[in-house]
Amino acid sequence: MRLIFFALVTGVLSGQALAADLSVPPPRRAPVAFVVPPIFTWSGIYIGGNGGYSFGTTTTSLGGLSGSGFSTNGIVAGGTIGGNYQIGAFVFGAEGDFDWDNIKGNPSACVGCQVSSTWLATARGRVGVAWDRLLFYGTAGAAFQNVKFAVTAPPLITPLASTVSPFGWAAGGGVEFAISPNWSVKAEYLYVDFQNQTIGPGTFRLIENVVRGGVNYRF
C-alpha cells in the first residue's frame, strides 16, 4: 500500500510540475524590421546639359515674291534649367534652355549668300505622365534665335550682313528616365518655327527640327 500511495503522490506532483511548465509562455522573438524604400518622385528643381542636331528649311520673299526654300542645318549643344511638380502619375513643369548652334544654309538662287545662326533659346512648359522612373512628356512655348544674313559675292567690295533675333514658338515631346534619385537622361524632339521675320526689304521664315539628348541633375 505504501508503494501504491508513493506512486500516486509522485504522479500528481509530476503532473503539476508539467502543467506549470506548459503555462509559461515561450519567449517572444524580436520583430523583424522591414525598410520601405522611398517612393520616387519627379518633383524638384534640376539643371542639365543637352546636345544634338538641327535640320530644317528657310524660305524668303522679296517684294511680295516668294523664293524657293533651302536647307539649314547644324549641331546644337547647351544647358538646361527647369522644375517639376508631380501629382499622382502626372508631372507638370517648366523648362528653359540656351544652346550654342552652328546652323547654316546657302540659298541656290543667291550666289555668295548665307544664312547662319549661333544660338537658340527656348522657354517652355511641360506636361507628362510618369511610370515610376520613366516619364513621357509633351512641351510647348516660346523660342528665340539670332539669324544672320550675309552676302559676300562680287561685285560687292564690302560684304553685306544683317543680324536679327526673331521670336517664334517651339513644340515637341520626349522621354526621360531616372537612373538614380538625382540623375536622369532624356531624348527630345522640338519643332521650332520663326514666321514672317523682316530683314531689309524682304521677309523670311525659318523652320527647325531639333533632335537632342540630355542629362539632368535634380536637387
Task: List the Cα angle 158/161/164 in 5-degree steps.
Answer: 165
Q: Is residue 32 part of a domain?
A: no
In this prediction, residue 180 carries a pLDDT of 94
- CATH assignment at residue 106: 2.40.160.20
End-to-end CA distance of the chain: 91
Phi-psi region of 132 (alpha: psi -120 to 50; beta: other; left: phi over 0): left
Measured in whole angstroms, the distance separating CA 55 from the mean position of its chain's CA atoms is: 20
pLDDT less than 50: residues of the chain? 2-9, 11-13, 17-20, 22
Distance CA 89, CA 85 (A): 11
Q: Is 7 within a domain?
A: no
Across 190-210, b (16+ Cβ under 10 Å) vs e yields bbbebeebebeebbbbbbbeb
pLDDT tens digits along 3-36: 444 444 454 445 554 444 545 556 676 666 566 5
What local confidence, expressed as pLDDT, does residue 24 receive? 53
- Asked if residue 16 is part of any domain, the answer here is no
Domain that holds residue 62: 44-218
> In whole angstroms, what is the distance from residue 21 CA to residue 24 CA?
6
Task: Give yes or no for a contact between 136 and 129, defined as CB atoms under 8 angstroms apart.
Answer: yes
Q: Are the beta carbons of 52 and 76 closer than 8 angstroms?
A: yes
pLDDT at 8: 41
Number of domains in the chain: 1
In a domain, 175, yes or no: yes
Supply the pLDDT for residue 205. Answer: 82
Q: Is residue 142 part of a domain?
A: yes
Task: Please give the pLDDT value at position 57.
Answer: 87
3-state secondary structure 153-208: CCCCCCCEEEEECCEEEEEEEEEEEECCCCEEEEEEEEEEEEEEEEECCEEEEEEE
| Residue 60 to residues 64, 86, 106, 165, 199, Cα–Cα distance (Å) | 10, 44, 12, 16, 10
